[in-house]
């Protein structure tokens, strides 16, 4: 555990960056520090590895004051990921990842073997190892930065806005990768960001900071979004915090109806009818698109989908809203259609009020477990789904 025990930082000119912070960062969980610029987020992070020394109070790592530890040895035992990766431009990727093992005295063969293992873990192809940083995309560089931070298997990982310099698509992929890694490795992660959406997606607990590092609210993501501590926290979270909360609720609560497939008439393997629209599937039951039956020569339109076992209610709602038929396609892990959910089904799932009993707020290895009421909502929807299947089956046969 990391503990800030009255930790403070006053600069020589009298400026107070952090004022007497008390905070516990639980072992094996992700704690996110979020707040406006200048509130002390990065200062607190750097106190842990002694890149910044507190002027008052203490920072404890597993009960030991970090001030009593040799700074170099301390840092070699803590993973550190920063903006734009901070890779050595003159070193190949594999040697960048092996930096800390080299410093710890590992032989070259062992260090490079570990580096290759981690490149695979973060989803980079083996040929990446021989490249230089300038030959990589921004997202690839950040993955290398994460691999380097994990090279010596440190129990603690400090991440200072690591994904802020990449585009939104790459950023979402990196966040997903971090969630996957954390579900496997269970590191103690202290993560700094300006982005509240990133904070609630990644954090088991989120710490909203005011000026001078004062805690405005410490809560799991669900509680933070649904019960902000005061008007200032609510304003910081933004007006769309309700929509963000949907990203914490599992799409498994949506009643998915089986797809009644009719012969495709040579156009595809099959079609399913929904009012004036047909869902066209290929020979592996992957959605090709929607077609308007009432419009002669109409072109196929996209068929947005979601994965009930992996996605959230926000993804399900987005798919239903974007669908021209008002129907989201439920997909399995291979992208095959397993059923459909119309907007009413998604709204019914939204209306079931979640309870965070026993939840930490952050996603876990199973997806987004921890909300009481999920299984009850799923069971309650089974009868409705069965009845809807009969109805759709009749429609598909006409």
E strands present in the chain = 2-10, 16-25, 30-34, 56-61, 64-65, 78-81, 156-160, 188-193, 205-209, 215-219, 262-263, 270-274, 277-281, 287-292, 305-306, 327-331, 337-342
What is the structure's pLDDT at 174?
A: 84
Residues 177 and 143: beta-carbon distance below 8 Å:
yes
DSSP 60-99: EETTEEGGGS-HHHHHHTEEEE-TTTT--TTS-HHHHHTH
* Sheet with 56-61, side-by-side order of all strands: 16-25, 2-10, 56-61, 64-65
Rg (CA), the chain: 25
What is the structure's pLDDT at 353?
A: 67
Helix, strand, or coil (residue 265): coil
Helix, strand, or coil (residue 101): helix
pTM tops 0.75: no
Q: Sketch the domain layout of the chain as residue ranges.
A: 2-244, 251-397
Distance CA 352, CA 145 (A): 41
CATH: 3.30.200.20, 3.10.180.10, 3.10.580.10, 1.25.40.10. Which one for 251-397? Answer: 3.10.580.10
Q: Rounded to a whole number, what is the largest CA-CA distance in the chain?
A: 81
* Sheet with 205-209, side-by-side order of all strands: 78-81, 156-160, 188-193, 30-34, 205-209, 215-219
Helix, strand, or coil (residue 377): helix
Distance CA 375, CA 380 (A): 9
User: Interhelix angle for 343-351 vs 313-322, to 10°?
Assistant: 150
What is the structure's pLDDT at 355?
A: 53
Low-confidence residues in the chain, pLDDT < 50? 265-269, 356-398
What is the structure's pLDDT at 261?
A: 60
Residues 35 and 41: beta-carbon distance below 8 Å:
yes
What is the structure's pLDDT at 352?
A: 79
Residues 262 and 397: beta-carbon distance below 8 Å:
yes
CATH class of 2-244: alpha beta
Q: Which residue has the tokens 């009749």?
A: 394
| CA 381 to each of CA 64, 257, 369, 385: distance values in angstroms, whole numbers, following the listed order | 52, 10, 18, 6
Q: Which two tokens stand for residue 95?
A: 């040697």
E strands present in 248-365 = 262-263, 270-274, 277-281, 287-292, 305-306, 327-331, 337-342
Residues 79 and 158: beta-carbon distance below 8 Å:
yes
Q: Which two tokens stand for residue 137?
A: 């995309």
| CA 149 to each of CA 16, 156, 158, 178, 271: distance values in angstroms, whole numbers, following the listed order | 30, 10, 9, 12, 49
């Amino acid at each position: 555990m990391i503990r800030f025990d009255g930790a403070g930082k006053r600069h020589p000119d009298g400026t107070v960056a952090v004022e007497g912070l008390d905070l516990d960062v639980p072992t094996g969980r992700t704690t996110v520090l979020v707040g406006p610029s200048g509130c002390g987020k990065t200062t607190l992070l750097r106190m842990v590895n002694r890149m910044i020394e507190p002027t008052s109070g203490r920072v404890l790592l597993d009960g030991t004051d970090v001030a009593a530890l040799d700074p170099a040895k301390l840092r070699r035992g803590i993973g550190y990921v920063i903006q734009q990766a901070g890779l050595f431009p003159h070193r190949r990727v594999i040697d960048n990842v092996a930096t800390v093992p080299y410093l710890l005295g590992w032989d070259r063969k062992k260090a490079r073997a570990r580096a290759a293992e981690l490149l695979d873990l973060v989803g980079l192809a083996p040929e990446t190892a021989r490249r230089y940083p300038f030959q990589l995309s921004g997202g690839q560089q950040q993955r290398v930065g994460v691999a380097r931070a994990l090279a010596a298997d440190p129990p603690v990982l400090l991440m200072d806005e690591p994904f802020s310099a990449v585009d939104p698509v790459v950023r979402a992929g990196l966040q997903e990768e971090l969630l996957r890694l954390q579900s496997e490795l269970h590191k103690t992660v202290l993560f700094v960001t300006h982005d509240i959406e990133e904070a609630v997606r990644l954090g088991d607990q989120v710490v909203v900071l005011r000026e001078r590092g004062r805690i405005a609210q410490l809560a799991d993501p669900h509680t933070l979004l649904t019960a902000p501590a005061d008007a200032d926290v609510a304003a910081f979270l933004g007006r769309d915090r309700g929509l963000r909360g949907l990203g914490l609720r599992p799409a498994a609560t949506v009643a998915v109806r089986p797809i009644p497939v009719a012969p495709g008439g040579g156009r595809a393997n099959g079609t399913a009818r929904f009012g004036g629209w047909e869902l066209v599937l290929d020979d592996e039951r992957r959605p090709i698109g929607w077609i308007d039956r009432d419009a002669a020569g109409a072109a196929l339109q996209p068929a947005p989908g979601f994965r009930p076992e992996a996605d959230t209610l926000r993804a399900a709602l987005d798919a239903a809203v974007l669908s021209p038929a008002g129907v989201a396609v439920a997909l399995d892990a291979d992208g095959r259609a397993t059923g459909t959910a119309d907007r009413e089904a998604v709204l019914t799932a939204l209306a079931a009020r979640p309870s965070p009993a026993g939840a930490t707020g952050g996603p876990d290895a199973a997806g987004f477990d921890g909300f009481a009421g999920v299984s009850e909502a799923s069971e309650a929807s089974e009868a409705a789904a069965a009845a809807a299947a009969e109805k759709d089956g009749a429609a598909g046969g006409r």
